């Protein structure tokens, strides 16, 4: 069998992205929050079914800005879906509040609505729900809980570009949503992020905060006076560059094909592992469209996930653990046990998933994983 490496994740970029970057070079506006960013914001708002979008340096800054404009302050508690890269919890801490982690559903790994509601205290101000591997959680239930208790709802849609929930696009399911355009995401500029909402007041405030607390320079273009901005609150430099935005505009053009390719890979993986007792394939719920940012197998308890990963890597097929049970990370201090999330953290395995996988590579991944499991069973 070939030992040529098969990447865990890989962007789909080419001449179209290079041409878009060249156009930005010719324009002379390479800095952040420029014309290319505005074009992408208009288009991404349409894709996410929202009225407003703001480009950001990354998803972490989008999460932080969202929490700030929602009014989060020290002493507040924010309920966070536990099974996620800790950027989600970090944003809450950076905003001065305390993350309270909710355990997850055992099938799709998003926050369990019943557990979310059980965690509400007088200090709770909102729910930060994560679209795990891109598949949206139970947003009708989250919304009902938020409305019942007077809380805001924030969607961590880092992995979810192109996903849907009951025909509604990811990003339109909460008061605010944050997206990532990191290199392993479904659409990417290497880095970057976006904050989207139907609420103009939230996005307008975030737009000021992401440019040190003033309106971006493009808003002053063409003025027949000499506007001198004033600083009334502490802001940050969280802008996406126009070079990145040019790439993202092309990536939006690619999105339907990229989603179709990932869904085809997921279907073939489902078939390849359907009869492997030691593996459980990921679930796509019938009322949702999964964007397959990642493909996470769950390994049976009697098989060592870590040993399996090393066996697979020896063949040149890249793999990794799924994501984090955030409550187990030392930075957050002692936490109540969350057994479902902890179990997923111990047993999930991410295998190659991207739009560039060839039929031969998908076949090889399936064979390698099956043989590695058999060698350990």
Residues recognised as catalytic: 185
Rounded Cα distance between 141 and 309, Å, is 36
Rounded Cα distance between 320 and 294, Å, is 11
State both tokens at 105: 């559903």
Rounded Cα distance between 266 and 282, Å, is 9
Rounded Cα distance between 160 and 139, Å, is 14
Decide: residue 199, CB within 10 A, 0-12 exposed, 13-18 middle, 19+ buried.
Answer: middle
Rounded Cα distance between 179 and 193, Å, is 5
Cα 347–372–261 angle (5° rounding)? 75
- First-to-last CA distance in the chain? 21
Rounded Cα distance between 141 and 133, Å, is 20
DSSP string, 208-244: HHTBTTS--GGGGTT-SS-------S---B-PPBHHH
Q: In what order do the strands lie in the sheet with 288-289?
A: 168-169, 164-165, 288-289
In the chain, at which residue ranges do the beta strands (DSSP E only) sit? 52-56, 77-81, 98-102, 124-130, 152-156, 164-165, 168-169, 176-180, 193-197, 279-280, 288-289, 295-299, 320-321, 348-351
Helix (H, G, I), strand (E, B) or coil at 161: coil
CA 104, distance to chain mean position in Å, is 17
């Amino acid at each position: 069998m070939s030992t040529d490496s098969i990447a865990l994740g890989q962007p789909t970029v080419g001449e179209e992205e290079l041409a878009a970057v060249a156009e930005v070079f010719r324009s002379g506006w390479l800095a952040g929050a420029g014309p290319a960013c505005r074009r992408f914001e208009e288009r991404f708002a349409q894709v996410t079914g929202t009225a407003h979008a703001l480009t950001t340096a990354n998803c972490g800054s989008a999460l932080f800005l969202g929490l700030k404009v929602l009014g989060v302050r020290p002493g507040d508690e924010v309920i966070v879906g536990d099974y996620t890269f800790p950027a989600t919890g970090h944003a809450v801490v950076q905003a001065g509040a305390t993350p309270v982690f909710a355990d997850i559903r055992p099938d799709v790994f998003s926050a369990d609505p019943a557990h979310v509601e059980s965690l509400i205290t007088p200090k709770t101000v909102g729910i930060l729900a994560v679209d795990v591997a891109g598949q949206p959680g139970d947003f009708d239930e989250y919304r009902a809980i938020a409305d019942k208790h007077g809380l805001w709802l924030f969607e961590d849609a880092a992995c979810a570009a192109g996903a849907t929930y009951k025909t509604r696009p990811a990003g339109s399911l909460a008061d605010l949503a944050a997206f990532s355009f990191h290199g392993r995401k479904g659409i990417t500029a290497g880095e970057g992020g976006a904050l989207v909402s139907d609420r103009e007041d939230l996005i307008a405030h975030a737009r000021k905060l992401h440019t040190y607390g003033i309106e971006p320079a493009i808003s002053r273009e063409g003025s027949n006076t000499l506007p001198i901005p004033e600083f009334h609150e502490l802001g940050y430099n969280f802008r996406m560059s126009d070079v990145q935005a040019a790439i993202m505009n092309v990536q939006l053009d690619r999105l339907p094909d990229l989603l179709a390719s990932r869904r085809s890979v997921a279907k073939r993986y489902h078939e390849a592992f359907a009869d492997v007792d030691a593996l459980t394939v990921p679930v796509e719920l019938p009322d949702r469209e999964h964007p397959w940012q990642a493909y996470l197998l769950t390994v049976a308890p009697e098989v060592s996930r870590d040993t399996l990963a090393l066996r697979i890597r020896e063949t040149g097929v890249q793999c990794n653990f799924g994501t984090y049970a955030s409550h187990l990370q030392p930075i957050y201090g002692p936490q109540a046990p969350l057994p479902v999330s902890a179990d997923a953290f111990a047993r999930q395995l991410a295998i190659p998933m991207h739009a560039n996988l060839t039929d031969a590579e998908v076949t090889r991944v399936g064979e390698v994983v099956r043989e590695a499991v058999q060698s350990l069973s």
